[in-house]
Structure 1
Amino acid sequence: MKYFIALLGLLTFLACKDDYTIKPIGHVRLEYPEPNYKSFISDCDFTFEYSDLAEKRDKENPCWFVLHYPDMKANIYLTYFPIQSQEDLAIKIKDSEKLVQEQTVKASYIAPREFIFEKKKVYGTLFELGGESAINLQFHATDSLKNLISGSVYFSTPPQYDSLQPAIQYMKKDVMHLIETLEWK
């Protein structure tokens, strides 16, 4: 009996020590509200809908804008180009795609998605970039005659693709809505 009590005391003593196991650092769960969309109003040759979570900011050039998402520390940079010729259009599209290709050093993948809205004369490509790329989404849209809009999504945080993934997917939906509602005046 004496040995039993000693053994029980020893087991109790050993069982009561602290656990110093290293645990992984957790990430904050990011959840965003369903967006409500409003019309983009300007004197430019285009219109579209954008999220009410974004603030429209003018840039120095006419018809260049930033849609700023303060809660996500994200921006959609929109650049409009009036097109003079088919050669001019090809150069501008190539410049837009060059920006994507420059990210191949950090991007783990680049997934292009073409879109065609024949009735509204909206044609273009959306590029989604994975990995630690500075740009997460890049797109251009044109009517193939007189107008071209180029857009890029940037986050004002270090590029950690896994932790930014919920915000990137949210922004992708907003960019898709922008493209789907784009119309030329």
Structure 2
Amino acid sequence: MILIIQTQIKLIKEFKQIKKVIRTLKILIFFCVISLIWSCSDAIIPRPYGYYRVDLPAHTYRTIDTLNLPYRFDLPVNALLIDRKSQGEKYWIDIFYPALNASLYCSYKAVNGNLFDLTEDSRRIVYKHSIRADGIGEKVFIHPEKKVYGILYDLSGNTASTLQFMLTDSTQHFFRAALYFNNVPNKDSIVPMAEYVREDVIRMMESFEWKK
């Protein structure tokens, strides 16, 4: 009787060991199948976000000298000039790019012994963007033959404005402008458009003249 019981216990132990082996084999087979499926499928590669492509036209210009403004300059043919006189701002204009949904907001003030205050106000407005800007570059512009002197500010990063500048003759006139895109700023999506407008701004500064 004792021998029979011992034999049964031994069989039970062997059966449990066999079950463990079978369970282990099932797990190994499962992982082998998963590995085989994974190796046969294409690897998933994360891709960066895409943005709508904007076809930028060639740069062509016309001289703006039709309004009763104390200045003139070359304007891109694909931009609209909006007079803000109706808003009570004499000699203020907007340069709007419909295809880019961007505007260059331009203001003008007469200098009456307050050139330092005007230039410092302009600089202060630029550096308000330093909170979000990766950097702010300054480029001095001098055109003594036309009595046009100024500074071009390049703002990098996710800033509301990517470019601003000011021009003056140091005695009578002061002109400043700021570029804004009418959407949420994202440096990756607007960099090509900002560089495109920057070329127009350079042309604008180089062709700028005072009438009076």
Question: What range describes the TM-score normalised by the shorter chain of this pair?
Answer: 0.7 to 0.9
Distance 1:34 1:71 in 2: 13
Alignment match of 2:178 (pick from 114, 137, 152): 152
**1:52 matched to which residue of 2?**
77
Larger Rg: 2
Q: Does 1:34 align with 2:62?
A: no
CA-to-aligned-CA distance 1:113-148 (integer Å, 9 cap, x gap): 001001010000000000011111110000111001
Shift of 1:158: 0.9
- Overall identity of the aligned pairs, in %: 30
Tell me the matched-pair count.
172
Shift of 1:23: 3.1
Distance 1:128 1:24 in 2: 26
CA-to-aligned-CA distance 1:14-54 (integer Å, 9 cap, x gap): 47656554433222333311121111122121111110111
Alignment match of 1:164 (pick from 179, 185, 190): 190
Could you list the runs of 5+ residues in structure 2 that have no partner in the other structure? Answer: 1-32
Question: TM (normalized to structure 2)?
Answer: 0.76
CA-to-aligned-CA distance 1:72-123 (integer Å, 9 cap, x gap): 01100010111112xx111111111111111110000000000100101000
Which structure ranks higher in relative contact order (CA pairs < 8 Å, sequence separation ≥ 6)? 1
| 1:102 counterpart SS class | helix
Q: Does 1:43 align with 2:64?
A: no
Whichever structure has more strand as a proportion of its residues is 1
CA-based RMSD: 1.7
Distance 2:180 2:206 in 1: 20
Letter in 2 for 1:24: P
Question: TM (normalized to structure 1)?
Answer: 0.87
Whichever structure has more helix as a proportion of its residues is 2
Distance 1:22 1:37 in 2: 43
Could you list the runs of 5+ residues in structure 1 that have no partner in the other structure? Answer: 1-9
**1:24 matched to which residue of 2?**
48
Distance 1:24 1:76 in 2: 30
Alignment match of 2:139 (pick from 89, 113, 138): 113
Distance 2:45 2:127 in 1: 43
